[in-house]
């Protein structure tokens, strides 16, 4: 009987090992009972090579020396972003920590920052109260957001990059309706500034008050926002966004600060071949005229006087971007290119890029930043002529 027993064992094994016809593959569904703690984030490496414009005013300003700067420099940048969360009932807590170790020109640098850390109370689905350090990201523009009254400026190389927040108390109250007005939400914000808190925001010694009202009206997102309180000049504005067709979206922002009005208008268009075009125009009401900018560069030449060093300091800019996902017939390969043109002096920056998602959690990106323009133009006087960067980012 041992032969029969062996055959029986083999038969049972084969029966168990063979999936039933039509049986669906097994899937691991995250537990319905959510764990109170969550951890995630990414690790990235970004080696870069920079060809410097040794004649550029901003290079001499930064080097603060008359000695010739290196024509080419190497950088090894990296980042660890750690997102942690805790949720129990109507209370939750979130923290985002960013570590930026780097190497450039023989020097190692390191920076650890708490980008966000806040408590969130949700006593009802219609009400959320947040307290702590957080970003709000107001505005609809792709890279320029004059309506982002309480946020830092985005990186033109990576507008989706996480930003460091400010510390404030805020709430979201949501109401829904039938008819043309579908949603109304109100977001009041209190943001104190002292020598120890939010020092980068503006003048200390004030409690700033801001607010935003959002409506979804006739299928259009509309926000109206304001900021007052003393640390920064009082301001107000509005933004909108709407899908005109199944492949066309338009958006805009308008803001007013004393004696200056800023405007962003743009659109995003998707072609039949799945290529996305984004075009934004930025009229910077607080920007400098070409003559003022030339005077600034002359000041640098004379005595390295600083003052105009912010991003996009002039008045009229245009932004264009195209991206082609699944390019060259390869899924997860994206080819893209962006350009920012200073319409006042004709200088520009070009940002071609290639992205590939090699595995589900590994992203590779190659990016070039080419800055061109004549003498005493914004991008012509930037310290880097060309910057090439490779980024490998692993999510966990």
Partner 1 sequence: MRVHLRWVVLVLAGVLLAIGTRPLRAAVDGAALLLQVDRRLNPPTYEAYKRLINVEPNGRSREYLLYQAAEGRDKVAALFLSPASDKGRSTLRVGDNMWLYVPNAGRPVRITSLQSVVGGVFNNADILSLDYSAEYDVASVDESGEHYLLDLKAKTGGVAYDRLKMWVTRKEKLPVRIECLTATSMLIKTLHFKDIKDFGAGVVRPSTIETDSPLHKGYTSSMVFVQMTARTFPAEAFTLTFMPNLESIRR
Asked if 73 and 83 touch (Cβ cutoff 8 Å), the reply is no
The candidate with the shortest Cα–Cα distance to 355, out of 386, 322, 320, 327, is 327
Give the x-and-dash track for 342-371 against partner 1 (CB under 8 A): ---------------x--xx-x--------
Whose CA is closest to 211, among 246, 168, 179?
168
249 belongs to the binding site for partner 1 (CB under 8 A): yes
Say if residue 34 is exposed, middle or buried (CB neighbours under 10 Å; 0-12, 13-18, 19+). exposed
Query: Is there binding between residue 20 and partner 1 (CB under 8 A)?
Result: no
Assess 82 for contact with partner 1 (CB under 8 A).
Answer: no
Q: For residue 134, which of 162, 101, 109, 159 has the smallest C-alpha distance?
A: 162
Task: Measure the CA–CA gap between 49 and 309, rounded to whole angstroms.
Answer: 23
Pick the closer one to partner 1 by CB: 157 or 221: 221
| Residues in CB range of 189: below 8 A, 6 or more apart | 136, 150, 168, 169, 170, 209, 210, 211, 212
Minimum CB distance to partner 1 smaller for 74 or for 183? 183
Alpha helices in the chain (DSSP H): 2-17, 57-63, 290-303
Q: In angstroms, what is the minimal distance from the CB of 189 to partner 1?
A: 14
The DSSP secondary-structure symbol of 296 reads H
Q: How far is the CB of 93 from partner 1 (least distance, A)?
A: 13
**Given the DSSP bridges, would you call strands 220-228 and 206-217 parallel, antiparallel or unpaired?**
antiparallel
Contact status: 270 vs partner 1 (CB under 8 A)? yes
For partner 1, the closer of residues 327 and 384 by Cβ is: 327
Q: Least separation, in Å, of the C-beta of 185 and partner 1?
A: 4
328 touching partner 1, by CB under 8 A: no
Binders in 119-148 for partner 1, by CB under 8 A: 120, 122, 125-126, 128, 135-138, 140
95 contributes a contact to partner 1 by CB under 8 A: no
Q: Can you tell me the distance from the alpha carbon of 168 to that of 384, in angstroms, rounded to the nearest whole number?
A: 37
Of 194 and 359, which CB lies nearer to partner 1 in the complex structure? Answer: 359
Where b means 16+ CB within 10 Å and e means fewer, 109-147 reads eeeeeebbbbebebeeeeebebebbbbbebbbbbbbbbb
In this chain, which of 5, 195, 245, 302 binds partner 1, going by CB under 8 A?
245
Contact 326, 316 (CB under 8 A): no
Shortest CB 15 distance to partner 1, Å: 22
Residue 24 touches partner 1, criterion: CB under 8 A: yes
Which of 1, 3, 17, 32 forms a contact with partner 1 (CB under 8 A)?
Answer: 32
Binding residues for partner 1, rule: CB under 8 A, are 22, 24, 27, 29-30, 32, 34, 40, 42, 83, 87, 92, 120, 122, 125-126, 128, 135-138, 140, 159-163, 172, 174, 176, 182-183, 185, 187, 214, 216, 219, 221, 241-243, 245-249, 251, 268, 270, 274, 276, 325-326, 331-332, 357, 360-361, 363, 395-396
């Amino acid at each position: 009987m041992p032969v029969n027993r062996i055959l029986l064992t083999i038969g049972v094994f084969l029966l168990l090992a063979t999936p039933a016809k039509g049986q669906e593959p097994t899937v691991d569904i995250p537990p319905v009972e959510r764990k109170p703690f969550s951890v995630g984030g990414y690790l990235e490496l970004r080696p870069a090579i920079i060809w410097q414009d040794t004649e550029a005013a901003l290079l001499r300003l930064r080097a603060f020396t008359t000695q010739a700067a290196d024509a080419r420099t190497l950088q090894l940048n990296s980042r660890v972003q750690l997102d942690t969360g805790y949720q129990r009932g109507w209370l939750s807590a979130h923290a985002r920590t960013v570590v930026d170790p780097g190497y450039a020109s023989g020097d190692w640098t390191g920076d650890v920052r708490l980008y966000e850390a806040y408590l969130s109370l949700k006593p009802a689905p219609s009400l959320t109260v947040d307290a702590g350090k957080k970003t709000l990201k107001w505005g609809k523009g792709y890279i320029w957001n004059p309506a982002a009254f309480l946020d830092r400026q985005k990186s033109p190389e990576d507008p989706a990059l996480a930003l460091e927040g400010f510390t404030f108390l805020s709430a979201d109250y949501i109401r829904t309706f039938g008819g043309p007005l579908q949603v109304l939400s109100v977001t009041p914000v209190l943001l104190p500034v002292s020598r120890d808190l939010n020092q980068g925001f503006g003048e200390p010694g004030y409690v700033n008050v801001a607010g935003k009202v959002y409506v979804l009206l006739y299928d259009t997102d509309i926000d109206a926002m304001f900021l007052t309180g003393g640390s920064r000049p009082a301001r107000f504005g509005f933004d909108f966004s709407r899908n005109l067709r199944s492949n066309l979206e338009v958006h805009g922002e308008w803001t007013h600060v004393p004696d200056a009005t800023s405007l962003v208008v743009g659109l995003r268009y998707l072609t039949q071949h799945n290529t996305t075009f984004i075009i934004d125009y930025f009229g910077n009401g607080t920007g400098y005229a070409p003559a003022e900018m030339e005077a600034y560069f002359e000041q640098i030449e004379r005595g390295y006087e600083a003052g105009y060093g912010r991003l996009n300091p002039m008045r009229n800019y245009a932004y264009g971007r195209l991206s082609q996902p699944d390019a060259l017939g390869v899924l997860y390969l994206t080819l893209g290119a962006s350009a920012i043109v200073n319409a006042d002096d004709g200088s520009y920056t070009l940002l071609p890029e290639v992205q590939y998602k090699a595995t589900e959690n590994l992203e590779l990106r190659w990016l070039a930043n080419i800055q061109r323009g004549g003498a005493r133009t914004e991008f012509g006087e930037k310290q880097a002529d060309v910057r090439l960067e490779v980024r490998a980012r692993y999510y966990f």
